[in-house]
Structure formats: C-alpha cells, structure tokens
Amino acid sequence: MRYNDYEPIYLQIINDIKAQIAFGHLKPGMQLPTIKEQATIMKVNPNTIARVYYLLEQEDIINKQKGIGTFLSKNEHLASDLRDAEAKIITSRFVSEMARLGFSTTGIATHLDLYLKNESGNNNTL
C-alpha cells in the first residue's frame, strides 16, 4: 500500500480495510493478521496497527478474542453497510461541490440524470 502525505497513515489503513470489506475481499468472521504481522505487511510501526485495530473494534468492525486472535465482525450486512456509508460521503461531497458552483437541487438532479443516461448508453458499466 502506498501512503499519501495529507492523511494520517492509520486512517489510510482503516479506509483500506473498510474498502476491502466493502468489496468482499475480506469476509465476515475472517481472522486478521496479528498486530506484528500486519505491521510487517503494511510496513508501519506496530503501534499504528494497534491503533487501527482499536479504532476498528470501537466501530464493531473487528473483535479481539484474547489468546485466539482478531476477527472481522460476523455481521453479514457489514459490507453493504460500509458501501452505503461511503456512498453517503461521496454523495454529500458531490452535492456540496455542485451547490458551491451555484446549482440548485433541481440543477444537480438534472446533471446527474443526464450523466447517468449518457454513461449507461455509452458503455453499460453502470
């Protein structure tokens, strides 16, 4: 993983783990590497991974089982919940930027509708 300079590394790792869950690369109940193993994999200080795991545990995304390991939540809806949360963030940014450009709610909806019609007609990737 390549890290950028404008966001703390621990947040980048959290976002990466959440993305892997959202895309189905990490499955409910799956065991995660130990803090030391993950730090080696991610090429970061073990304290960074300890912080990542702590924060993910606070969000009920992972749970630690003393003496056994760290596991992803068994919540079958976790991936869709994370996708929905990310979609809300992206949508909020989009609407805010469009409003900053002076578009009304109707104007934003019109542009989005035109975009979706154009994109689905061109390559059916949506």
Residue 124 has pLDDT above 70, yes or no: no
The percent of residues above 90 in pLDDT, for the chain, comes to 91
The pLDDT of 63-82, averaged and rounded, is 94
pLDDT for the residue 1: 81
Distances (CA, A) of 78 to 14, 55, 58, 59: 14, 16, 14, 11
CA pair distance 87, 96, nearest whole angstrom: 14
Picking from 93, 44, 65, 88, the residue whose alpha carbon sits closest to that of residue 17 is 44
What is residue 70's DSSP assignment?
E
Structural fold of domain 9-72: Arc Repressor Mutant, subunit A (1.10.10)
pTM of the model: 0.78
